[in-house]
Amino acid sequence: MQYRTLGKTGWKVSAIGFGAWGIGGQWGPVEQRQALATLSAAYDAGMNFFDTADAYGDPPGLSEELTGKALAPHRDKVYIASKVGNWARRAGHPLPFTSPLHVINCCHASLYRLGTETIDLYQCHIANLDEPDVFLDAFEQLKKAGKIRAYGISTNDVKVLERFNRDGQCATCQLDYSLLNREPERELLPYCRTNNIGTIIRGPLAKGVATGKFTRATTFSDSVRQGWNDGAGREKFHAQLALVEKLRFLEAHGRTMPHAALQYVLAHAAVSVAIPGAKSPEQARTNAAATQGKLLPDEVERARELTGV
């Protein structure tokens, strides 16, 4: 495993971390025993950065519970990141977040589910946040109280990030970035690098499409990707499959497409940690092994030519 500095936090985090969205059942059923084994396998493979959210899981919060339980024996050796802003949104009852108390109460609930006294990184989960005052006020209070160590935001909108970082205290930005979504290379990643904001890359495998394991006949039963089964979602899915086929040259020298996709993301100078999901110990170990190699400069350049921005 390789380790990188996470922006202004100074923390040395694994280049491949663990995205815990999938272990809560929203990407298809996962038995608790398997979820815990997957998290443990990720730790054993060298991952020390684990990202979850209060809204992840079926029911919401399950991902935090599983993450906290699996990592309890290693708590002083790992960084736990969680997010706030989408609790109960799927049920049609999102919190208004009109007061810092809404954020603070959510944090206490997350601390309970995670079974820890402090969340290392607490992130705003509202990607289109217009006015950051409530969250920034709450995060500063939580930081002073020792409930969180650092804070950031999950967004792909550089304007949102600029507003959130107005005082220069935003430690991280979590963003969707992959071979199939290179838009962050235009403004977002450069802004993060210039401002020493650590980057947490979600979706580095493009929800599985970049692994090359799907075909035009693939259909999805999980709640996250059901929209890919027909209409415009299906058309976009097929277009992405065609692009993946053009990128098969990256499988040279025994490299797999999952490794190629992760290595492409890690090749960007502004990237701190990528957090692919995993629902089995084998997937966790496969993700971790991506750091054992890297794309050659000419491979990166050819991939960029084929994918464009």
Q: Please give the positions annotated as active site.
A: 56
Helix (H, G, I), strand (E, B), or coil: what is residue 266?
helix
DSSP characters over 114-161: HT-S-EEEEEE--TT-S--HHHHHHHHHHHHTTSEEEEEEE-S-HHHH
d(Cα 83, Cα 126) in Å, to the nearest integer?
Answer: 9
**Count of positions (residues) in the chain:** 309
d(Cα 296, Cα 302) in Å, to the nearest integer?
Answer: 10
Q: ∠ at Cα 277 (275, 283), nearest 5°?
A: 115
- Give the residue from 98, 86, 28 showing the smallest Cα distance to 60: 86
